Amino acid sequence: MKIKYHIDGMTCEGCRSGLEQVLTSIPEVSDANVSLERKEAIIVFNQKLTIDDLMKTIPTKYTITEKGNQNYNAVEDILVSDKSELKQLLPLFLIFGYITSASVMINYQSWNTDDFMMDFMGLFYVVFSFFKILDLKGFFGSFAMYDPLAKKISFYSWVYPFIEVGLGLMFLMRFKIDIALIITILILGITTIGVTKVLIDKRSIQCACLGTALKLPMTKATFIENSIMLGMAFWMLIKIYS
């Protein structure tokens, strides 16, 4: 269900982006677009909230009122939601493609599958940690919404991006690969459990895999992304100890 609201209290682009981030973090909201110029928010719900419920979740400086004539049919809602989700996931697919291409180019002259996978995992960690570190505070809130360990130990959310940096360097420098693989299986295994639960419960939350700079919905793509990394880690660990 897509509904348009009038917003009072926004004075700058920071207000707009901050409010949009708050709205998209609400479990019942699958997408939200806020316009400073039009003083409005278009919110796509998977379960509609009342005005009072919305007011409780946003900063008190803002006032939100529903605009009239919101008669969107079910087919339009599905098409809008699907289109928006694909558009939001485009940065993830592009980054994944660049990392894969870079790993292939590094290894194409003397191809070695193990080296390709280590370069892929190293670049994956370094690139993804960069986006998380851009907004550590925002990542902290988003990650704790679905990662089981981050829910119990808040400090884990703060250090997670730096763990990724360390793992990325270990893979790229071929340093203690067995330890890096074991840590990868542990941390991504825990996160994948949380992602799976979100998908089973059909909750719409923001994925923190690329931090908060790029707003990504939690979808099967996140599960597939983690599964690829876990598959590589298990494969290489088996080869090392076999």
- Global confidence as pTM: 0.65
pLDDT of residue 124: 96
Give the 3-state secondary structure of residue 131: helix
Q: Given its phi and psi angles, is residue 30 left (phi above 0), alpha (psi -120 to 50 degrees) or beta?
A: alpha
Give the 3-state secondary structure of residue 30: strand
pLDDT of residue 212: 66
Tell me the CATH architecture of domain 2-72: 2-Layer Sandwich (3.30)
**What angle, rounded to 10 degrees, do the helices at 220-241 and 177-201 form?**
150
Query: Residue 18 — very low, low, confident or very high, per pLDDT cuts 50/70/90?
Result: confident
Handedness of CA 223, 148, 215, 161 (dihedral sign): negative
Give the 3-state secondary structure of residue 133: helix
Question: What is the average per-residue pLDDT within 218-222?
Answer: 73
Tokens for 226, please give them. 């983690």
Residue 49 · residue 5 · CB < 8 Å: no
Tokens for 233, please give them. 């880690």
- DSSP conformational letter for 112: -
CB within 8 Å of 147: residues ≥ 6 apart? 156, 157, 190, 191, 194
Q: Is the pLDDT of residue 12 over 90?
A: no
How many C-beta atoms lie closer than 10 Å to residue 97's C-beta?
Answer: 10
Residue type, 77: D
How many C-beta atoms lie closer than 10 Å to residue 157's C-beta?
Answer: 22
Closest residue by Cα to residue 239 from 167, 152, 178: 178
Q: How far apart are CA 227 and CA 181, in angstroms?
A: 14
How many C-beta atoms lie closer than 10 Å to residue 152's C-beta?
Answer: 9
Q: So where are the chain's domains?
A: 2-72, 85-241
Q: What is the pLDDT of residues 114-163, one digit of tens each?
A: 999 999 999 999 999 998 998 888 788 778 888 999 988 989 999 999 99
The HSE-up count of residue 154 (CA atoms within 13 Å, CB side) is: 2
Q: What is the pLDDT of residues 61-104, one digit of tens each?
A: 888 888 754 444 444 444 344 445 566 678 888 899 999 999 99
Question: What is the average per-residue pLDDT within 26-55?
Answer: 85
- DSSP conformational letter for 213: T
- DSSP conformational letter for 183: H
Q: What is the pLDDT of residues 43-56, one digit of tens each?
A: 888 888 888 888 88
Q: pLDDT averaged over the chain?
A: 84
The label of the residue with tokens 């960069």 reads 130
Tokens for 13, please give them. 């682009």
Residue 16 · residue 34 · CB < 8 Å: yes
